[in-house]
Amino acid sequence: MGCVFGREVSGRPVGREERKREEVGRVSKRSEKGEEVVRDGSNSQRVDEEKAEEEEAAAAAAAAAKARAKRRSSRPNPRLSNPPKHVHGEQVAAGWPSWLSIVAGEAISGWTPRRADSFEKIDKIGQGTYSNVYKARDTLSGKIVALKKVRFDNLEPESVKFMAREIKILRRLDHPNVIKLEGLVTSRMSCSLYLVFEYMEHDLAGLAASPAIKFTESQVKCYMHQLLSGLEHCHNRHVLHRDIKGSNLLIDNGGVLKIADFGLASFFDPNHKQPMTSRVVTLWYRPPELLLGATDYGVGVDLWSAGCILAELLAGRPIMPGRTEVEQLHKIFKLCGSPSDEYWKKSKLPHATIFKPQQSYKRCIAETFKDFPPSSLPLIDTLLAIDPVERLTATAALNSEFFTTKPYACDPSSLPKYPPCKEMDAKLRDEEARRA
Residue numbers belonging to the annotated binding site = 148
Q: Can you give the C-alpha Rg of the chain in angstroms?
A: 40
Describe the crossing of helices 98-108 and 157-172 by its angle, rounded to 10 degrees. 30
Report helix, strand or coil for 199: coil
Binding-site annotation, residues for ATP? 148
Report helix, strand or coil for 138: strand
**b/e map of 413-426 (b: 16 or more CB within 10 Å)?**
eebeebeebbbbbb
Q: Is 264 exposed, middle or buried (0-12, 13-18, 19+ CB in 10 A)?
A: buried
| Length reported for the chain | 436
DSSP 228-254: HHHHHHHHHTTEE-----GGGEEE-TT
Distance CA 181, CA 197 (A): 5
Residues 6+ apart with CB under 8 A from 336: 288, 363, 365, 384, 385, 386
Distance CA 234, CA 169 (A): 9
Report helix, strand or coil for 259: strand
Long-range pairs for 74-81: beta carbons < 8 A, 24 or more residues apart? none
Inter-CA distances, 36 with 47, 70, 317, 378, 414, Å: 17, 51, 113, 107, 112
Give which of 217, 221, 239, 219 is closest to 230, Cα–Cα. 239
Q: Which value, to the nearest 10 degrees, does the dihedral of the CA atoms of residues 213, 219, 221, 222 take?
A: -120
Q: Which helix (H) or strand (E) holds 71?
A: helix 16-74
243 is catalytic: yes
The active-site residue, picked from 138, 243, 261, 302, is 243
Within 10 A of 431 (CB to CB), how many other CB atoms are there?
10
Distance CA 101, CA 103 (A): 6
The dihedral through the CA atoms of 375, 376, 378, 379 has a sign that is: positive
Distance CA 164, CA 362 (A): 44
Active site residues: 243
